[in-house]
Amino acid sequence: MSHAKPLRADARRNRDALIAKARELFAGGCFDLRFDDFAKLAGVGTGTLYRHFPTREALAEAVYREELTALCDRARELQATLPPDEALESFLRGLVDHLHANEGLARTFATLMATRSGTLAEGTLAEGTRAVGQVVADLVAAAAGAGTIRDDVGAGAVMTALQGICATYGQPSHRDDSGDLITLVLAGLRTRHPQ
């Protein structure tokens, strides 16, 4: 299995600067910026931009991957520090908040998907779905193992609910409705102990 050669420190700094600036611009809803302007705003040369990210799609994918890594790391941190049912709830509610905090990035990625055949983008989205699915499965299994949620409902049902939330993204009542749906999912998952 081949691995990419590690970047030199200065190249890593330039790449990180580009990703950080792109994240900021996408989150702010900046969709019409010329691609070359990312370099100037990040304080690097145009050649550096194209060396790391030959297309806007490649830059958006890099931001998406970093956001995804942070999200999965957060799930593992919650699992290590909270009771299992609280970790699951915190992750699901945090995911909804994350969608809203990164609205610009979500729209940018959706636009890229719509305007390209996007084999890379499709692969990245599938990879993201698998990664989130795995952390959700881990959280659900831990809570079921602790006896705080039902053990007859799998992570697939939770992922289906999350996909439903994503499908309605951008509608005016999405944030409130998403929070309510998470409340319903959690209520349905929790075990009921006799009084």
Q: How is the chain split into domains, by residue range? A: 7-54, 56-189
pLDDT of residue 2: 43
Sign of CA dihedral 180, 186, 188, 191: negative
In this prediction, the residues of the chain whose per-residue pLDDT falls under 70 are 1-7, 29, 31, 102-122, 169-170, 192-195
Beta bridge partners of 149: 190
User: In CATH terms, is domain 56-189 a member of 3.30.565.10?
Assistant: no
CATH of 7-54, one of 1.25.40, 1.10.10, 1.10.3470, 3.30.70: 1.10.10
pLDDT of residue 44: 92
Cα angle for residues 69, 73, 76 (degrees, 5° grid): 145
pLDDT of residue 162: 82
Q: Whole-angstrom Cα distance, residue 104 to residue 113?
A: 14
The overall pTM is greater than 0.85: no
Contacts of 49 (CB under 8 A, 6+ apart): 18, 35, 36, 38, 39, 42
